[in-house]
Amino acid sequence: MKNNIFGYLFIIFIIGIMSFAIYKANKENNKEKENAQETTTISTEEKGKEIVLAISGFDTINPIITKNRNVQDVTKLIYEPLINITENYKIENCLASEIAKTDNITYLVKLRQNVKWSNGAKFNSSDVKYTIDKLKQSNGSVYSSNVQHVKEVDIVDDYTVRIILAEEVEFFEYYLSFPILCSSYYGSDDFWNTQKNSAPVTTGKFKIKEVTNSTIVLSKNTNWWNKNSQSINIENITINLYSTPAELYNSFKLGGIDLITTNNEKYQDYVGTIGYNILDYESKEFVFLAMNTANGLLSDVNVRKAIRNYINKDEVVSNSYGVNFYKTANFPLNTSSYLLNLGEENFYNLEEANSTLSSSEWALRNNEWRKVINYKVTKLSLNLVVKASDSPRVRAAENIKAQLMNQGISVNIIYASDGDYQSYLQNKNYDMILCSMNLSIAPDMTTLFASNNLANYNNEEMNNIIRYLDNITNEDELKGMYSKIYEIYNNDVPYIGICRNKTKVLTSTRLVGEIKANWYSLFHNVGEWYTK
């Protein structure tokens, strides 16, 4: 009997434990559901739908007329081009649905037929022709160079235009990345001086809702042709207008702005060092040494390679430009370009440099590299031309000279006036010249490698590739060609890349969403942004 009682008690005990376990499990499950519901509520209902941007020295919101870099950035949210440039510098159709190159100088552009301006008017071929005509009339627009080789624009029909060039332009499609404006909106008004420039109609993600002396308010463009494919969290964008950069910086520091960009070395004096997020993107300037490959000494590729190995680029950048707004670079293309997987290559190697020179029968004597040429002892001595008015470049040239002198290569710096510097570039009567160029939006290599280039460089294989590039339509084949260009570039060393500049993007801690920026646009990922 006792055994039975203990058995019953044991069964009741087990049932009690199981009941308690089920109760706890249900409770935890309900709690998880509540948390999930709470998260969903935050993600769908509590995302802030307004952000604040800023412009200092505002002139006009018209993207063709403005000279202001901040305006040019912001207008990417409002106006659209025929061809868009992605975050990795690919081209993609925007207002153009298709582009065909019918011969070396003729392009047929088909336009999207479902596009409306923010005032409800239909986008058509007249808008494209009108915009190009205005760009051709303008000498000061940042986009004027995009159409400098356009000879004629013919309207084939409402949604087709024919663009005829005066001469062949490599990768011309890239230059169709200028914003298009509405011809019917402006009508017969004086385009350059009309009050309509205060709030032009748009085809972009956002439209101009309100304009005052101190702000421009943008709202979602309900007529945007791509709204069903790309969701956007932000409903409104307020652009605060400031007279000076100092006022802009102060407002950002006080939390009144969500995103700004800067190239000011002393920006931290204005905004401090904490309370915001920061990232860099590569800008357009590329600083490099052009090596005159037709020069007697520099015609030896091993001399060029040794010079590259002797130069510590990190030292050049830190002592001349500063690491905040410059980074070392080897090749002209931005490292984010889809065409090449460019890492941070470092050729600085003193032992390899010494070995390379020795292999060309140079000998180091009393800290001087010497070689018998035509029965005469010749020192490795070179001239380096630099523009005297460019202080950072002068410092870079002096640093390069010091590094090379320490390794036994004699360098004489020629401090050229602006006029003389241009003369050197034109006549190419130098050994080495320290140059700076702003990169084109197109991956065009003709300036550096085609005939009459800065290095007097001639390589038949490279010439053939450059001539063939613009006819390649297959992406993998194009990447293969650029990989070959890069390989030849590193093997032949006609140029030595030194550095490229950077721009800093500062964002408030309340702005959420990845910033995918390059020098074409800050807003590649704007659809996913929100505030908390």
Which residues, including other chains, have CB under 8 Å from residue 279's CB and lie 6 or more apart? Answer: 504, 505, 507, 515, 517
- Tell me the whole-structure pTM to 2 decimals: 0.87
- pLDDT at residue 21 above 90? no
Domains of the chain plus CATH, in order, are: 47-78+204-275+509-532 (3.40.190.10), 80-186 (3.90.76.10), 282-503 (3.10.105.10)
Percent of the chain residues past pLDDT 70, beyond the cut? 91
Output the pLDDT for position 46: 72
Q: Provide the b/e sequence for 424-458 (b: ≥16 CB within 10 Å).
A: bbeebebbbbbbbeebbbbbbbbebbeeebbbbbe
Which residues, including other chains, have CB under 8 Å from residue 133's CB and lie 6 or more apart? Answer: 153
- pLDDT at residue 14 above 80? no
- Mean pLDDT in residue range 108-118: 97
Nearest CA to 497 out of 439, 446, 440 is that of: 439
Nearest 5°: phi and psi at 110?
-90, 135
User: What is the rounded distance in angstroms from the CA atom of residue 59 to the CA atom of residue 197?
Assistant: 10
Over residues 141-185, the pLDDT tens digits come to: 999 999 999 999 999 999 999 999 999 999 999 999 999 999 999
Over residues 115-132, the pLDDT tens digits come to: 999 999 999 999 999 999
Which residues, including other chains, have CB under 8 Å from residue 435's CB and lie 6 or more apart? Answer: 287, 288, 289, 290, 425, 454
Residue pair 307/445 in contact by the 8 Å Cβ criterion: no
Q: What is the residue type of 220?
A: K
Cβ atoms < 10 Å from Cβ of 75: 21
- Mean pLDDT in residue range 487-497: 97
pLDDT confidence band for 329 (50 / 70 / 90) = very high
pLDDT confidence band for 9 (50 / 70 / 90) = very low
Residues β-bridged to residue 157: 160
Output the pLDDT for position 41: 42
Output the pLDDT for position 301: 97
- pLDDT at residue 187 above 80? yes
User: How would you classify residue 120: left for phi > 0, otherwise alpha for psi between -120 and 50, otherwise beta?
Assistant: left
Q: Which two tokens stand for residue 43?
A: 């993600």
Residue, of 4 and 83, whose pLDDT is higher: 83
pLDDT confidence band for 322 (50 / 70 / 90) = confident
User: What is the rounded distance in angstroms from the CA atom of residue 307 to the CA atom of residue 298?
Assistant: 10
Q: Which two tokens stand for residue 417?
A: 């006036």
Which residues, including other chains, have CB under 8 Å from residue 129's CB and lie 6 or more apart? Answer: 153, 155, 161, 183
User: What is the rounded distance in angstroms from the CA atom of residue 215 to the CA atom of residue 447?
Assistant: 42
- Mean pLDDT in residue range 236-260: 97
- pLDDT at residue 33 above 50? no
